[in-house]
Structure 1
Amino acid sequence: MHLELLSNINSPKDLRQLDPRQLEQLARELREFIIDIVSTKEGHLGASLGVIELTIALHYCFNTPEDLLVWDVGHQAYGHKILTGRREVFGTNRKLNGISGFPKRDESPYDTFGVGHSSTSISAALGMAISSQLKGDFDKQHIAVIGDASIASGMAFEGLNHAGVTNTNLLVILNDNAIGIDPSVGALKTYLTKAKIGKKPRQDNIIEALNFSYEGPIDGHDLPELLKVFERLKTIKGPKLLHIITKKGKGLKQAEDDQVRYHAPGKFDKTTGEVLPKNNEGLPPKFQDVFGLTLLELARKDTSIVGITPAMPTGSSLKFMMEEFPDRAFDVGIAEQHAVTLSAGMATQGHKVFCTIYSTFLQRAYDQVIHDVALQNLPVIFCIDRAGLVGNDGATHHGVYDLAFLRSIPNMIVFAPSNAIDLRQMLYTASKGLEHPIAIRYPRGRGTVKEWQQDFKAMEIGKGLKLRDGKDLAVLSLGSISSEVEDALNTLDNSFSIAHYDLRFLKPLDEMLLQSVFDRFENIITIEDGCIKGGFGDAVLDYAQTSSYKGRIHKLGIPDKFIEQGDTKELYDLAGISSEKIKDKIKAVLNP
């Protein structure tokens, strides 16, 4: 790979030394470099390929990092990272001890704001712009790059609404490619689709109605046009919005044609673009597919079942129900708060609502879970995907707080299946009707059970299980981390006799089972793939105190710090919840 220009660019200052006529070649080299690395190292692909020209033009025209640039969402910022001094280490992207897959403030002065979740850029950049005004710096530029899927989120509109009554030096760049991870949805998408390159929308412009100067739409891959527009916009005071049209996956035909798959395609052939096949034959299914296929099976028999997801139909596998029952399965866009309250509204009318949200994104709808669902005791069924440590996406995407923040909510049932069969049976149980809302949390990736499509059987709420007996010590686990415990016990020295209990429910706890454990064991280890503060271990401790338990309880879980990116097994080990670390803990407790 010959990178005549890119190999000499270690910062935007180097970039600005190029003649504008050289930037097209640089764009080709930058695309080639990203494709080459991501094809073998994996990561997000399509989004970054779609903003190559935009990235180059921004750093060429604006005086970054003095001018402040915020990306939204950060998975489109690979080109930005490469041009801002991280080309040589880009191969470590999303790896343990490597660079993050998202902009990160402590990684580079060019990363002005951490952006792993969407729709934050306008509020953040506006905050920076107001700060600049307060400090008397009226020349500094503040730029927010936001996609058409992200700008439809409520928080983005809140930022636009506020910005329109300020006179801040804020430039919002709307990167319109009609897709987030899945295709964008909603009325705003229809509005934007009517806008054509080179022709300002004739209808009343929603952006201008918010007191923004509006420019566009323009071709976001036309470098000379981008440079010309940016130079002009730098001279215009007050809030302004530039609408650009781009193609996600630009420069790799397969990524352009199949934008959903090539958002993060895994390993692929950099020459042909073909995704390299994975040998998944005979492997257990992904938890998300167990959810999606089971829900479809239930929906075929019960017309009162509906499914709701905020912009993750493919990732959550709600797509199966959406394809067969499009009138009963809804992608509401990047709008977690709306998704939860929409679910609550439908529940008041007797629908059985399965609201599937990634754990890390459910954080954004905490008030709605409390006020709109739990306070009214509405039986919404939250199917919480990507719970626990999710691996290479890192701290912004780990779903490690849901156990702690859901445990404190009255009326909430919290269930964590250890395997696909339990997930299937709890989905069935919930579909038969519950008196309270329930959160069913499950991890990213595959389980351990292949024969999961068993006959439906209702589960008893609040009932745990004894998986194996023992006499020296009891391990209490919650959720899929049970497999790490079993791996540990299967390879532990036979001189140890360890009991293992799967509690299954964080709330309500199986107090009868716990009491039997307290009566038999002087040492108990709790383990969870959630934060150790306020989660499962603390729930067991709370009950132990009320029961006057005299033994010792040792908690294992995610420590009280943010866990960065890496392979999930690596992160389990760092967090002290891998099978090897569980064995070490057992030995330390029994042989102090």
Structure 2
Amino acid sequence: MDSKQLSILCGEIRQQIIQTVSKNGGHLASNLGAVELTVALHKVFQIPEDAIVWDVGHQCYTHKILTGRFSRFHSLRKTGGISGFPRHDESSCDAFLAGHASTSLSAACGLAKAKTLTGDPHTVIAVVGDGALTGGMIYEALNNAGRSGSRLIMILNDNNMSISKSVGALARYLAMKRTSAGYLQLKDRVEDTLLKIPFVGQGIRDTIVSSKSTLRQVLYHSNLFEDFGFDYLGPVDGHNISGLIQVLTRAKELEKPVVVHINTIKGKGYLPAEKNPARYHGVSAFDYKQGIQAEEGTTFSSVFGQTLVDLARKDPKICAITAAMETGTGLAPFAKEFGSQDRFFDVGIAEEHAVTFACGLAAGGMRPVVAVYSTFLQRAYDQLLHDGAIEPQHVVLAVDRAGFIGSDGATHQGLFDAAFLSQVPGITIYSPATYNQLVYSFKQAMYEAEGLAAVRYPRGQEDTLSITLSGDWTHCSKDSSVLLITYGRQAVETIKAVESLAQEGKPVDLLVLNQICPIPQECIQLARKYPKILFIEEGILQGGIGEHFLCMLSEAPYYGRMQVQGVKQPFLPQMTLAEAQKLCGLDAASIVKRVIELFF
């Protein structure tokens, strides 16, 4: 296909993405911005022999359409359908799994070195958004990869000018010249000739390089990647097919580490997304003809955000930190009100830095709150242990998206945080099931807990419960010999199960924990009275809160029968909350069945 035909293809793909994402939900703006790039990559390279590694992976929809999954694209992010992220077990054209940021270049570096060691002449391409350059792992990979000699290309997809703008027409002219084969060949020939001049050749060469670097730094700020050992091509228009094909072909011919810098427009081709790319980054289903009409109602995230604002108005020591998730974590109101007071910090995609930065703030007398998704908090575990726990620092973690995550699938499940956080010495963890419990928990975490504290809560809205939950724990007794114990959102299905069992003439008692670490001793003593206990949790079974409870109970001691129902296979693919609950035996009907099998 020629460039004109490829441009038509891009338009058709863009419409398919808009229509599908508007029905299924997903990542819209980033995918619309990467259409031409992806088409050009597939034009120049032989996939899967040449491997593409996508950073984060949320911008891979065009790639999926072009690699034999067009007929299934309607199933995007649906149960049993194709994932919204690269999955090697879904297609060999997905070279490496992705879901978190700043990992692509490390994986690509390894893949490229493996090709070198096995005599494979093909190229590995890492597609990296400029936002990923706020994550330190990228620089670790740049430091390792630049002088590796591997056939490795890093595409820098610059879609919001996070990197310094080039200056004027001369910078554009130099960028154009630097992408040409003639420029690079001339550069190599001049350098070789200078080095052959006896005595003075090396000095002349070094002087020219120094002068050129100074000029380039002033005009374009492009020396960073070359300092790491990469050749640098760009920037080029990321929506110009012929230009992309030209620069990618040149990068392929170099057969060594190269950075190709492209400029793209997030939301390209869909005006509402171009005007407001942040709003169209990750979307639920909507009418694409009308655009997204209304903001989401009250959620756990928004209640957290407002609670923090209310507390911060009275307490000037409170400050908030996010790792590039201001809107998603509910911190936008806090940023608006307190950003000018230098009490709000968006540190970029840098969870490790966010936690240690917060520990430093705490050591300096502030009250820092780190708002982070459960899946991304995994990246900062060493910082929690080393910087936050050994010499305890009072940092509060607002752990959003805890539990089943829905259509984002395996890479984003929030099923590990309760288990791994509970291993941190001295930490206090709350897992509220309602908005009122959430507000209570944050006040406790801010002003009653010592050292590290975490409040974990799910995505979305609260459910209406038939009982009132309050304090650190709630006990509902019907004088049964059977006790069900749970916490967090799982209280919803467990309460339904309790009601169903009562209707069947099989009454059971209920204990709902809000403080899940350390487990209150009163709850252990209360549970000892029951000969039959089932602990139910929306989290990983091994090392989870249920196992902690069982261990403490056995030391009490306890001579009854206790079982734990949790998630045995936490890497769940995309599915709805209800489907995940049923699959793991955590829906009301499954709980009823389990209780009857065990105790009646």
Q: TM-score, normalised by structure 1?
A: 0.89
Q: Distance in 2 between matches of 1:69 and 1:540?
A: 45
CA RMSD of aligned residues (A): 1.9
Encode CA deviations 1:440-467: one digit per residue, 9 max, x unaligned.
11111111369xxx9xxxx97xx42214
| 1:212-251 correspondence runs (5 A) | 212-251=230-269
1:171 equivalenced with 2:180 (yes/no): no
The residue number in structure 2 matching 1:313 is 326
| 2:536–2:565 CA contact under 8 A, matched in 1 | yes
| 1:4-403 correspondence runs (5 A) | 18-137=1-120, 139-178=121-160, 189-192=162-165, 200=175, 201-203=219-221, 205-270=223-288, 272-275=289-292, 277=294, 285-326=298-339, 327-403=342-418
Encode CA deviations 1:25-84: one digit per residue, 9 max, x unaligned.
100110011111112122111111100000000011001100011111211000100110
Shift in CA distance, 204/125, structure 1 to aligned 2, threshold 3 Å? closer
Task: Name the one with the larger helix percent.
Answer: 2
Q: Distance in 2 between matches of 1:325 and 1:571?
A: 39
Q: Distance in 2 between matches of 1:400 and 1:86?
A: 29
TM-superposed deviation, 1:264: 2.1
Q: Distance in 1 between matches of 2:338 and 2:166?
A: 26
Give aligned-pair identity as a percent: 39
1:505 equivalenced with 2:515 (yes/no): yes
Where 2:292 maps in the other structure, the secondary structure is coil
The residue number in structure 1 matching 2:505 is 495
The residue number in structure 1 matching 2:545 is 536
TM-superposed deviation, 1:211: 1.3
Q: Distance in 1 between matches of 2:282 and 2:389?
A: 35
Q: Distance in 2 between matches of 1:305 and 1:193?
A: 38
| 1:513-528 correspondence runs (5 A) | 513-519=523-529, 521-528=530-537
The residue number in structure 1 matching 2:487 is 478
TM-superposed deviation, 1:468: 4.4
Shift in CA distance, 37/204, structure 1 to aligned 2, threshold 3 Å? closer
The one-letter amino acid paired with 2:89 is D
Where 2:328 maps in the other structure, the secondary structure is helix
Structure 2 unaligned residues grouped into runs of 5+: 176-218
TM-superposed deviation, 1:347: 0.3
Shift in CA distance, 510/364, structure 1 to aligned 2, threshold 3 Å? same
Q: Distance in 2 between matches of 1:66 and 1:80?
A: 15
Q: TM-score, normalised by structure 2?
A: 0.88
Shift in CA distance, 151/399, structure 1 to aligned 2, threshold 3 Å? same
Q: Distance in 2 between matches of 1:97 and 1:40?
A: 16
The residue number in structure 2 matching 1:12 is none
The one-letter amino acid paired with 1:526 is F
| 1:266–1:275 CA contact under 8 A, matched in 2 | no
Q: Distance in 2 between matches of 1:539 and 1:193?
A: 56
| 2:415–2:570 CA contact under 8 A, matched in 1 | no
Q: Distance in 2 between matches of 1:79 and 1:502?
A: 46
TM-superposed deviation, 1:198: 5.3
The one-letter amino acid paired with 1:319 is A
Q: Which moved more, 1:25-34 or 1:505-514?
A: 505-514
Encode CA deviations 1:130-174: one digit per residue, 9 max, x unaligned.
11111123x211100000001221001110111122111110000
Q: Distance in 2 between matches of 1:363 and 1:418?
A: 22
Shift in CA distance, 192/207, structure 1 to aligned 2, threshold 3 Å? farther
The residue number in structure 2 matching 1:566 is 575
TM-superposed deviation, 1:409: 1.4
Shift in CA distance, 265/273, structure 1 to aligned 2, threshold 3 Å? farther
Structure 1 unaligned residues grouped into runs of 5+: 1-17, 180-188
Q: Distance in 2 between matches of 1:500 and 1:337?
A: 38
TM-superposed deviation, 1:276: 5.2
| 1:466–1:500 CA contact under 8 A, matched in 2 | yes
Correspondent of 2:563 among 542, 554, 560: 554
Where 1:39 maps in the other structure, the secondary structure is helix
TM-superposed deviation, 1:562: 1.7
Q: Distance in 2 between matches of 1:198 and 1:328?
A: 42
Rg bigger for which structure? 2
Where 2:387 maps in the other structure, the secondary structure is helix
Shift in CA distance, 561/302, structure 1 to aligned 2, threshold 3 Å? closer
Where 1:234 maps in the other structure, the secondary structure is helix
| 1:197–1:245 CA contact under 8 A, matched in 2 | no
The one-letter amino acid paired with 1:168 is S
Shift in CA distance, 577/262, structure 1 to aligned 2, threshold 3 Å? same
| 2:428–2:449 CA contact under 8 A, matched in 1 | no
Where 1:316 maps in the other structure, the secondary structure is coil
TM-superposed deviation, 1:98: 1.2
Q: Distance in 2 between matches of 1:337 and 1:355?
A: 11
